[in-house]
Structure 1
């Protein structure tokens, strides 16, 4: 007996299954308008197997409300079709069922059809026709629905097969309404105006609530934090979040704290975990994914599997089109254990896409099944984190991950063109993803990833790869082979960028004689080694050696390559910087102007090497005290960088940083602060939090805050950048020591922090002596600044002794007229006066006057 009063209760739905014909005939006419939801058996009929249950409340509430809004329009006079499209497991069916349960009284009848295939849909129509006594042909049932001039609702669920022609089943009439759920994006074309819904993933908050409910966990702060981490990893995918909660709740050894560890170890098991739910939903996360994946063509399936080993977001289609036209070799003789299967599979894979349009066809396939989204502007694919994981679990061959790595390496350009640099920047997140999860199978892949990492400031990774490449070359070719020497040179340059100057110097001094022996004195690679060693000497503070070697390289390049060759101009540029660092400012200025003129003539005004020369000359102008000329040139550099490279290119950001520094030196602190506060977030966005340029921007802003008297902000930012430098470069890198020195100065400016300033200043000085040597300009800067700290602390004798020592060293290293020498003289005058040695102070003042420099009083040598 049917309890008719039960049908009127809220949130209750009567589900009728497997009714036979006699029962159908008996009850069909007694309840013609009853609120009934019919599943995939005998629609709208009452039977002895009926079941009353409460619908789950874990559907996406936002989507339900949107669905409610759309379906309410269905209740108007004309027929409406609502389409609901999303990938598997996002709760489409649950959202529809919840809507129906809350709105049963609005409809005369509700018919629910399983539209996952032509067979199931035809069977549902046949059953309805048989029950209604109108015939079992699809056309008969369709006409029957058209004749019922009432507010009925048809639900076509899971229209995921593109071979299902749904229009053959939809009645032609102006009454009644339909809801269609599907993974196919083109289903949206069937929607009435403004009646298409894209069901998105859960919000973070609703996903956390769902997870905690399914896991039967209290909503404590600790559980909330752990839940946010879990739903973030799952991308707020409704079914995945539900499954995670059920797995945690049903697995004694799994907790909120260790779920992600469980997941990473047992992905396939958890993705296939079947929840015990009242709604009889039988699909697991993985099975829901497979329903769509198995509909893809074989080439598209393989493409998706390869993408599963890249980062799930922003996968440029250009990776595959570039790799397809690669003309080099995936392996060479240095690869002792080459990935043969992966290499064969790469060739097989690209043979599947012989037609260039095939790539776009595969993108369309994945997007139509809601397995991926495509950014048409950036031409990039994006995969949901859960779908990405599921795709990886379909892989049965171990070499697919190696295939993805080989394809990325094939796609990596190694040239200097701006377009190639920009594409390498796009590859960074994928190179990082591969680095974290896969062993690199060939030397070529290591070289390519090292190139990507080096440009992005990921020098620790670059160092490891460069060392592995060198070891492989030595083992196979020996130390005298040109490729071995090239890898030695690359590793030495990496050491240089890492601030490991001693290691760089040792390796460069080993490479140079070997290249002379193997290649000859005049070979371009030999000259590169000479040039790099000269740079290392300069950074070491060994200006005489740097100058001598730089002059030799320049002369040889003029002879071998000619005056106008780009490498010759680079040598001129580097030598100008060496003269500048050595205090030979007039010579540096003259040579810098010559380089700029020649680069304009040879490669044009807007070439990035010309702009580099312009930036270097502006720096020399500032060192010469020509701050206005430096500012003017830097503004021009910034304008051209924006014009040529765009606002967000790293070189543009460097130009902004340099101009802000000039504002600082001109005393335009507000302008400096404004520009630095603009450039820092851009550096974080474009280059990443740990890139050297980002850390420089952060350090400069901290210094500006200090000069503006914003000491608390300066201290906080200074401590942060010091910590980051230690993490990225290590404790002994020159940049780390500079940030430590800057922090010591900030402490010295703050009331009551002289002890901390003194302690940190002494530590910096000791480390700089160890790392850079006693005569390096940075070491002398630390001595000068520590003397000032002693003076401020009232330790006048110690300050005097250290001040005299640093002045003597400045004269020996940089000469009597270098700005830093004159600065230390200024500071020593103040110290003599504080000690009551007025005669010594006056004598030193006269020495300064002879150099035509006006004493500026207490002044610190710049650190940033």
Structure 2
């Protein structure tokens, strides 16, 4: 043993072969007696620009300023939301006196051990060459357990189990944790959810970075770009740095690049942007971790990427069995990739998660967004939509479901290309177009129906029954929109082809003939409309039966044509009989029954039977508001008809009563 005042005090024997390891004097000093010299803080360099987060900083002030007991504060949120930035800013701008402040990367057990080993080395440099990393980490844990007031930032914790032992031992200091995980924290942990920036804050961050070297530059589209990026700080910084490096590119132009080249733009930043600090890289890391834990959750995330980001119903999260589905949703929630809303039974996904998730990335280091993955997710999103769709679009009971699904159908249609549309896609678009037309949203209906027809023609062929149905439906939407110059020729050609392919008496052929008669009537061509209505009614009665809803529709429409021709003596009895039969067959509240009542009231009004007309209008309007809603096109029509009848009574009343 060397006792002559040298650096080493003794020798320890380790292992079966008695390997000699000389220990420095510091190793024999109890950890409790080791004092932290000044200057050991190792906080990362903070971003030059920090905006907002006043509420969150105040929460950290409150939580981490209490003394005398262990404080464990976790900040969780989506990747790129600014958790590490917030922690670094708070730690660097708050006074800590003489307390030790250390930053430890904690994305795995090895990283935690290395961070603690570095702390032990900082406290006692002579231990670095004498002890293993494991022994150094243990030395640091002993030091934390026997000292007070320190602040340890555990950054980017992937698994709370990696730090559980440390938190349990070191009870007299402060831990500030950042993590994507929202759950699995101990009861002793105070949790703070970090959300996106407010719109004004994200615009401020973007503006400061882009104008730092080029004040007064064109910022047209900056607010729109921040919104498109979901007010996510990392995405804002990446885009702003790119524009700062490319002063001739405007925010509006960047938006266009983002739309046309999403994979490249999310992967690439400015020359000064580290590769690991890009949106694509952040998502890749998160998705990789999720796949390790549950591949089904990653599949679900890629599927959700095809829908609108907010209010996604759980009916679109299939097809897994309930236990697997619940586990996947729970994991995505834990990683802040989705936000459930129990009150509505829906979930939301940050608007910046979907673009990378549904964009193939050719980079070899990203195995999670291949062409196969993207195509598989698109097909699953299509199947989920079709399964969730109601079978009818003209039944009021189904309308709440339709309205819930509409934003996601529109988003899917925008994000999928015509070339990747399938027969299932066409079915979704065709049904959606019919619903929108029923609701009076003709322009949107036409867009969906045109795409459905183009797809069915390409996939199924011109003479396929579904293609012919799409042509009829598109013609009907043109007619509803008042575009008779496009509706009539399309009907005429469709009927010709239906007769050839399906036959004269096929129900679809009869429907198109009824619709063509309606188009002739709308065009004022009653000489063609009435005979076609009459023949169609005869054929529908023969083929479908007197009480079939389509037969009743033909009777209602023929009565309307008689009324248009001024032949009220034929119109009113036919309306009355049709109303009686519709009430019996369909029920009092069926939309077709309500339509018949409105039409009969109109015939009474035309016959100057105002008392009967007004009473029927009033009852019909009341029922339409209850059944169809206040803003349905049929409700608005009946309201206008009632107002017109009341006005006529006010003017002509003395002559009539």
Measure the CA separation in 2 of the matches of 1:97 and 1:513. Answer: 73
Selected match of 2:100 from 104, 109, 113: 109
Cα distance change of structure 1 residues 114 and 531 upon mapping to structure 2, 3 Å threshold? same
Cα distance change of structure 1 residues 547 and 622 upon mapping to structure 2, 3 Å threshold? same
Query: What does residue 156 of structure 1 align with?
Result: 154
Query: What does residue 62 of structure 1 align with?
Result: 54
Measure the CA separation in 2 of the matches of 1:484 and 1:630. Answer: 42
Q: Does 1:368 align with 2:334?
A: yes
Q: Which structure ranks higher in relative contact order (CA pairs < 8 Å, sequence separation ≥ 6)?
A: 2
| Matched position secondary structure for 1:614 | helix
Measure the CA separation in 1 of the matches of 2:343 and 2:624. Answer: 24
Query: What does residue 461 of structure 1 align with?
Result: 447
Query: What does residue 834 of structure 1 align with?
Result: none
Measure the CA separation in 1 of the matches of 2:112 and 2:613. Answer: 77
Cα distance change of structure 1 residues 129 and 404 upon mapping to structure 2, 3 Å threshold? same
Measure the CA separation in 2 of the matches of 1:493 and 1:212. Answer: 50
In structure 1, the gaps of 5 or more residues are: 1-20, 40-50, 325-352, 668-818, 820-825, 827-848, 856-864
Selected match of 2:312 from 312, 315, 322: 315
Q: Does 1:557 align with 2:540?
A: yes
| Alignment of structure 1 residues 276-291 onto 2, 5 Å | 283-291=277-285
| Alignment of structure 1 residues 506-525 onto 2, 5 Å | 506-512=489-495, 515=498, 521-525=504-508
Q: Does 1:662 align with 2:654?
A: no
Cα distance change of structure 1 residues 654 and 505 upon mapping to structure 2, 3 Å threshold? closer
| Matched position secondary structure for 1:169 | helix
| Alignment of structure 1 residues 558-637 onto 2, 5 Å | 558-585=541-568, 587-625=570-608, 629-630=612-613, 632-637=615-620
* Contact residue 212 and residue 218 of structure 1 kept, 8 A: no
| Alignment of structure 1 residues 134-153 onto 2, 5 Å | 136=135, 141-142=140-141, 144-148=143-147, 150-153=148-151
| Alignment of structure 1 residues 400-415 onto 2, 5 Å | 400=376, 403=379, 406-407=382-383, 410-411=386-387, 412-415=389-392
TM superposition shift of 1:247: 0.8
TM superposition shift of 1:204: 1.4
* Contact residue 586 and residue 593 of structure 2 kept, 8 A: yes
Measure the CA separation in 1 of the matches of 2:505 and 2:117. Answer: 88
Selected match of 1:395 from 362, 369, 372: 369
* Contact residue 56 and residue 94 of structure 1 kept, 8 A: no
* Contact residue 84 and residue 182 of structure 1 kept, 8 A: yes
Cα distance change of structure 1 residues 244 and 63 upon mapping to structure 2, 3 Å threshold? farther
Cα distance change of structure 1 residues 75 and 404 upon mapping to structure 2, 3 Å threshold? same
The alignment's C-alpha RMSD in Å is 4.1
* Contact residue 208 and residue 224 of structure 1 kept, 8 A: no
Q: Does 1:211 align with 2:185?
A: no
Selected match of 2:414 from 436, 444, 461: 436
TM-score (norm: length of structure 2): 0.78
Measure the CA separation in 1 of the matches of 2:271 and 2:187. Answer: 35
Measure the CA separation in 2 of the matches of 1:609 and 1:22. Answer: 95
TM superposition shift of 1:307: 2.9
Measure the CA separation in 2 of the matches of 1:281 and 1:83. Answer: 26
* Contact residue 305 and residue 355 of structure 2 kept, 8 A: yes
TM superposition shift of 1:311: 3.3
Selected match of 2:325 from 342, 348, 359: 359
TM superposition shift of 1:174: 6.3
Query: What does residue 425 of structure 2 align with?
Result: 445
Q: Does 1:37 align with 2:41?
A: yes
Selected match of 1:497 from 477, 480, 486: 480
Cα distance change of structure 1 residues 108 and 526 upon mapping to structure 2, 3 Å threshold? closer
Selected match of 1:100 from 85, 91, 95: 91
Q: Does 1:262 align with 2:245?
A: no
Cα distance change of structure 1 residues 255 and 582 upon mapping to structure 2, 3 Å threshold? same
Q: Does 1:299 align with 2:296?
A: yes
Cα distance change of structure 1 residues 146 and 413 upon mapping to structure 2, 3 Å threshold? same
Number of aligned pairs? 599
Q: Report Cα offsets for 1:366-406 as digits up to 9, x if no partner.
A: 11111122333444342222222222345211634752564
Measure the CA separation in 1 of the matches of 2:77 and 2:306. Answer: 24
Q: Report Cα offsets for 1:15-53 as digits up to 9, x if no partner.
A: xxxxxx99999xx989748485345xxxxxxxxxxx9x6
TM superposition shift of 1:294: 0.6
TM superposition shift of 1:87: 0.9
TM superposition shift of 1:320: 4.9
Measure the CA separation in 1 of the matches of 2:118 and 2:327. Answer: 38
* Contact residue 314 and residue 346 of structure 2 kept, 8 A: yes
Cα distance change of structure 1 residues 392 and 612 upon mapping to structure 2, 3 Å threshold? same
Cα distance change of structure 1 residues 589 and 151 upon mapping to structure 2, 3 Å threshold? farther
* Contact residue 59 and residue 238 of structure 1 kept, 8 A: no
TM superposition shift of 1:115: 1.8
Measure the CA separation in 1 of the matches of 2:636 and 2:41. Answer: 65
Cα distance change of structure 1 residues 220 and 308 upon mapping to structure 2, 3 Å threshold? same
* Contact residue 254 and residue 262 of structure 1 kept, 8 A: no
In structure 2, the gaps of 5 or more residues are: 1-23, 128-133, 360-367, 437-441
Selected match of 2:177 from 173, 176, 180: 180
| Alignment of structure 1 residues 55-94 onto 2, 5 Å | 56-71=48-63, 74-94=65-85
| Matched position secondary structure for 1:84 | strand
Q: Report Cα offsets for 1:490-547 as digits up to 9, x if no partner.
A: 3433442343324433343444466556655544333223311221121111224323
Measure the CA separation in 2 of the matches of 1:642 and 1:22. Answer: 89
TM-score (norm: length of structure 1): 0.61
TM superposition shift of 1:362: 1.5
TM superposition shift of 1:102: 1.9
Measure the CA separation in 2 of the matches of 1:35 and 1:383. Answer: 43
TM superposition shift of 1:217: 5.3
* Contact residue 275 and residue 281 of structure 2 kept, 8 A: no
Measure the CA separation in 2 of the matches of 1:473 and 1:260. Answer: 33
